[in-house]
């Protein structure tokens, strides 16, 4: 069968296999954009994969001061984990170490829902008895005295059990430069979609993995079928004209958001074309038996 | 949805207890049944039909056209729905209110919103003493919801306030926020002597504070995120309160004669 082609870019007849996750969202505000971003960046550091980091997290979007609860610029952080318990631990640890500590910060719930994760309800104990509870309507805040004034933190934030993790695109190009160019454009397009994050560095991962290893202790190891330097030595998935593969992984609060992000990424890659970008696009899956969410590339094409 | 309307025929010649006229008690009753409800507080029988002209409608939304300072307990124990009173009313307006929207266009007597635990209570005119306060022997006053007085309030507003927010756009009498347990009290006009007397926790914001008791200690001038958040949340209800909260505020902690974890804010 001849491969699908869009604007000269070959599209694999494949699909991304994604998994259900628990997700939450908070809004971090600060006296200015720089420090809102700083707190959010620190909180979402070392959060690329649940395998080694406990949670996957990233900045969804920035919000100008006129639409945040306290009138200051903010950044929305999304966080995902495989269980509610892990997500709870990660949320409180990260907010406690990275947001509470960040100068001028405040922290608000940014996801509705009946399932709640305590955040201020835990961090309040830092106040050593001087913490103050404030309620207005159905909102509950904690004020914790700190050295620059007060840390304001909403008592709880929403938890969604409908989050989806592991949506992905595999970009294959002739050289590192062209593939990276396509990946950067795709990441920029996908970052505009609300409710998703790309947890890897700058949204891009270059060390895609397969399940298992020749070494007993390793759960996962390099995806040799996609390593260009092994093209002749293993049962490769790469064609003659491919010299570099990069992957973009997507976590989203809903299945729709993940699909939308993949659609936006694909559109950017196809628009760029094969000459200066990716010659081929694929998606990672485990045969479709492990994850309930399947994002078929052919359905997401522009 | 058409409201259920009670039009006052004339000034009643005794104090009347209007506690039965709330949405959850009137729901499903016919106009005839409602007319037979007794309201008297003396040996003289006085029914709803004697006192009001009734225009049937949904009990979810009740209107009183014409008021009197002899009408007590309007909106008492109300759980949901809406009551609008066009005129004045007597004591205990909206006592133990737990939900819904209760509005008074005129003035009211003491103990308005006494021990309310939820919902929204708005008084367009003046309120009497002990706004939101507990009755004698009760341990706590208001424990939730939002109360707004557009006019002035009497003495001891927010006595033993436990939770919820009170905004007084006019002036407050002596001892506002006395014995406060927690919660928020905002006074935009003048304020009588000794605000926050024996308060334990909670927040009082005063636009024009009198001299504070020496048991309130200076904690400096601050711009706090929580004040900005409350400013935003209060803006739809009271623009003036929102403006006050968005200014830099001096913080005095007290009452050190009690627990001392309360605070009084005022603009410097």
* Structural domains of chain A in order of their starting residue, each with its CATH number: 4-18+162-300 (3.30.70.520), 22-160 (3.30.70.520)
How confident is the model over B170-186, as a mean pLDDT?
97
Is residue B170 within 8 Å of residue B149, measured between CB atoms? yes
Q: Does the pLDDT value for residue B84 go beyond 70?
A: yes
pLDDT for B176: 97
| Spatial distance between the Cα atoms of A80 and A88, rounded to a whole number of angstroms | 10
In CATH terms, the fold of domain B91-267 is Pectate Lyase C-like (2.160.20)
| CA–centroid distance for A263 within its chain | 16
pLDDT for B141: 96
Q: Are the beta carbons of B232 and A137 separated by less than 8 Å?
A: no
CA distance B186 to chain A (A): 13
How confident is the model over A48-68, as a mean pLDDT?
95
Per CB-CB distance under 8 Å, the chain B contacts of A137 are 146, 233
pLDDT for B13: 93
How confident is the model over B118-124, as a mean pLDDT?
97
Is residue A198 within 8 Å of residue A250, measured between CB atoms? yes
How confident is the model over A40-53, as a mean pLDDT?
94
Least confident of A237-241, A284-288, B119-123: A284-288
DSSP-derived secondary structure letter, B47: B
Q: Is A148 on the interface with B (CB under 8 A)?
A: no
Chain segment B31-83, per-residue pLDDT in tens = 999 999 999 999 999 999 999 999 999 999 999 999 999 999 999 999 999 99
B25: how many CB neighbours lie within 10 A of its CB?
17
How confident is the model over A161-187, as a mean pLDDT?
97
Q: Does the pLDDT value for residue A1 go beyond 60?
A: no
Q: Is B265 on the interface with A (CB under 8 A)?
A: no
Per CB-CB distance under 8 Å, the chain A contacts of B165 are 136
Q: Are the beta carbons of A150 and B182 separated by less than 8 Å?
A: no
pLDDT for B14: 95
Substitution target in B144, B184, B225 with the highest count of A β-carbons within 10 Å is B225
Chain segment A120-166, per-residue pLDDT in tens = 999 999 999 999 999 999 999 999 999 999 999 999 999 999 999 99
Residues of chain A with pLDDT > 70, as a percent, come to 99
pLDDT for A288: 83
pLDDT for B1: 79
Query: Which of B146, B225, B246 faces A152 most closely, judged by CB atoms?
Result: B225
Q: Provide the 3-class DSSP secondary structure of residue A93.
A: helix
- The predicted complex's ipTM stands at 0.93
Domain boundaries, chain B: 91-267
DSSP-derived secondary structure letter, A120: H
Give the tokens for residue B206.
């005063």
Chain segment A252-266, per-residue pLDDT in tens = 999 999 999 999 999
Angle, to 10 degrees, between the axis of helix A176-191 and the axis of helix A255-272? 140
Is residue B94 within 8 Å of residue B116, measured between CB atoms? yes
pLDDT for B19: 96
pLDDT for B29: 93
Q: Does the pLDDT value for residue A274 go beyond 80?
A: yes
Mean pLDDT rounded to a whole number for chain A = 95
How confident is the model over A191-214, as a mean pLDDT?
95
Is residue B198 within 8 Å of residue B255, measured between CB atoms? yes
| Spatial distance between the Cα atoms of B185 and B164, rounded to a whole number of angstroms | 9
Q: Is B165 on the interface with A (CB under 8 A)?
A: yes
Query: Which of B184, B222, B232 faces A71 most closely, judged by CB atoms?
Result: B232
Mean pLDDT rounded to a whole number for chain B = 96
CA distance B225 to chain A (A): 6
Substitution target in B184, B229, B253, B260 with the highest count of A β-carbons within 10 Å is B229
| Spatial distance between the Cα atoms of B4 and B56, rounded to a whole number of angstroms | 5
Pairing state between β A209-211 and B58-65: unpaired
CA distance A140 to chain B (A): 11
Chain segment B236-257, per-residue pLDDT in tens = 999 999 999 999 999 999 999 9
Confidence of residue A211 (pLDDT cuts 50, 70, 90): confident
Pairing state between β A209-211 and A196-197: unpaired
Query: Which of B184, B224, B229 faces A69 most closely, judged by CB atoms?
Result: B229
Is residue B4 within 8 Å of residue B61, measured between CB atoms? yes
CB burial of B80-106 (b: ≥16 within 10 Å; e: otherwise) equals ebbbbbbbbbbbbbbbbbbbbbbbbbb
CA distance A22 to chain B (A): 28
| Spatial distance between the Cα atoms of B94 and B105, rounded to a whole number of angstroms | 14
């Amino acid at each position: 069968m001849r491969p699908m082609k869009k604007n000269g870019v070959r599209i694999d007849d494949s699909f991304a296999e994604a998994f259900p996750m628990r997700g939450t969202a908070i809004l971090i505000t600060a006296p200015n954009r720089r420090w809102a971003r700083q707190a959010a960046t620190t909180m979402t550091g070392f959060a690329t994969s649940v395998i080694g980091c406990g949670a996957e997290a990233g900045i969804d979007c920035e919000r100008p001061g006129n639409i945040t609860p306290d009138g200051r610029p903010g950044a929305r952080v999304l966080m995902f984990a495989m269980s509610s318990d892990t997500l709870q631990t990660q949320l409180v640890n990260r907010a406690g170490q990275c947001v509470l500590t960040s100068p001028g910060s405040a922290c608000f719930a940014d996801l509705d829902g009946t399932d709640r994760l305590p955040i201020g309800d835990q961090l309040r104990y830092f106040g050593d008895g001087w913490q103050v509870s404030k309620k207005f309507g159905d909102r509950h805040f904690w004020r914790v005295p700190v050295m620059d004034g007060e840390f304001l933190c909403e008592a709880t934030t929403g938890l969604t059990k409908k989050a989806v993790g592991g949506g992905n695109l595999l970009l294959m190009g002739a050289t590192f430069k062209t593939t990276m160019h396509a990946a950067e454009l795709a990441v920029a397009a996908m970052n505009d979609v609300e409710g998703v994050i790309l947890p890897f560095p700058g949204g891009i991962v270059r060390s895609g993995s397969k399940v298992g290893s020749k070494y007993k202790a390793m759960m996962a190891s390099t995806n040799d079928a996609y390593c260009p330097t092994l093209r002749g030595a293993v049962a490769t998935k790469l064609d003659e004209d491919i010299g570099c593969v990069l992957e973009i992984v997507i976590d989203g609060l809903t299945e729709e958001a993940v699909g939308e992000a993949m659609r936006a990424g694909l559109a950017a890659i196809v628009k760029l074309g094969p000459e200066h970008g990716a010659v081929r696009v694929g998606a990672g899956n485990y045969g479709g038996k492990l994850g309930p969410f399947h994002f078929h590339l052919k359905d997401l094409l522009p | 949805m058409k409201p259920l309307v009670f039009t006052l025929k004339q000034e009643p010649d005794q104090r009347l207890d209007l506690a039965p006229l709330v949405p959850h008690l009137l729901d499903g009753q016919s106009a005839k049944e409602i007319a037979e409800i007794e309201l008297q507080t003396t040996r003289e029988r006085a029914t709803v039909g004697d006192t009001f002209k009734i225009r049937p409608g949904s009990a979810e939304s009740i209107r009183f056209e014409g008021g009197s300072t002899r009408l007590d307990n309007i909106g008492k124990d109300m759980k949901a729905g809406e009551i609008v009173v066009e005129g004045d009313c007597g004591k205990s307006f909206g006592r133990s209110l737990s939900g819904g929207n209760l509005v008074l266009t005129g003035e009211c007597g003491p103990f308005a919103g006494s021990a309310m635990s939820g919902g929204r209570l708005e008084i367009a005119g003046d309120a009497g003493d002990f706004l939101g306060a507990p009755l004698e022997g009760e341990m706590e006053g208001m424990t939730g919801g939002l109360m707004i007085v557009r006019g002035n309030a009497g003495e001891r507003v927010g006595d033993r306030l436990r939770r919820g927010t009170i905004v007084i756009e006019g002036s407050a009498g002596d001892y506002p926020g006395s014995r406060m347990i927690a919660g928020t009290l905002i006074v935009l006009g003048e304020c009588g002597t000794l605000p926050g007397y024996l308060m334990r926790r909670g927040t009082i914001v005063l636009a024009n504070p009198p001299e504070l008791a020496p048991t309130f200690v200076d904690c400096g001038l601050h711009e706090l995120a929580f004040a900005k958040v409350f400013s935003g949340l209060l803006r739809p209800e009271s623009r003036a309160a929102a403006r006050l909260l968005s200014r830099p505020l001096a913080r005095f902690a007290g009452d050190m004669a009690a627990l001392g974890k309360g605070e009084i804010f005022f603009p410097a």
